[in-house]
Amino acid sequence: MMVFAQLSVVSAQESALQRLDTGDEIRGWDAVGRLNMGKRSFCTGALIAPNLVLTAAHCLFDSKTGVRINPKDIEFLAGWRNGRAAAYRGVKHAVAHPEYVYGGGDKLTRVSYDLALLELDQPIRMVSITPFETDLTPHKGDAVGVVSYAKDRSEAPSLQEVCHVLNQEERLLVLSCNVDFGSSGAPIFSIRDGVARVVSVVSSKADYGGEAVALGTNLQGPLQTLKASLEAESSPFQKSDPSLRAMEAGAGSTAKFIKP
């Protein structure tokens, strides 16, 4: 189990959120978009291929009923800013990681597999929108950044250029990034050779001893499994959807988890 008491948030080193309101400010970040999940909620997602959006698995479920949201009711708004998007797309297929169980299992384990992949109904092929590459998992102490939508800032994305990896486990990152409701699925970036690459996805925020931290899913391994699951989506021999499994009994945790 994660020992949160050992974490030390170095807030003085973190940059503030910057709202990306203008065309110049959002340039290069248009592949991040708002995901409208039916009519009642939204998440954040990032384009990692012309037809693929990466987000959090729990976004695929109605938070009130626990029922899986129909992919046809999901819309990706690339670069959504002040009432307009650079591209609008529907979703053809949506898969959660096979090991993810909504509302069940140990909370930290659930975060480790909180990853989903959406196949758009049409690829986005625009010069101004370049899908992000993914990269290796960052290490404890590394600087990262995040672009997200959230409560009270749902009409334009916000960039936090510098936050840090506070701790790292095999499939989970603890981060000092500023996230809130709606930030679920937001891409965590590393900057290498001047290029932003996705290294994690925001799963949740946690409150421990008055310190706010963000929890992110490790992409290595889980992302490849997720891509294989998407490829098998239309196969008659595919395994049953993990969302249909019986809920497992939840294990206790000393941290208070809140799904952004």
| Residue indicated by tokens 């294989």 | 228
The residue ranking higher by pLDDT, 8 or 233, is: 233
Average pLDDT value for residue range 195-203:
96
The residue ranking higher by pLDDT, 238 or 176, is: 176
**Residue 199 pLDDT:** 97
**In Å, how far are 97, 108, 177, 213 from 105, measured between CA atoms?**
14, 9, 25, 21
**Residue 235 pLDDT:** 59
**Residue 234 pLDDT:** 54
Spatial contact of 137 and 223, defined as CB atoms under 8 Å apart: no
Whole-prediction pTM: 0.86
Helix (H, G, I), strand (E, B) or coil at 243: helix
Q: Rounded to an integer, what distance in angstroms lies between the CA atom of residue 61 and that of residue 101?
A: 11
Helix (H, G, I), strand (E, B) or coil at 190: strand
Structural domains in the chain? 4-236 (2.40.10.120)
**Residue 241 pLDDT:** 44
Which percentage of the chain shows pLDDT scores above 90?
A: 72
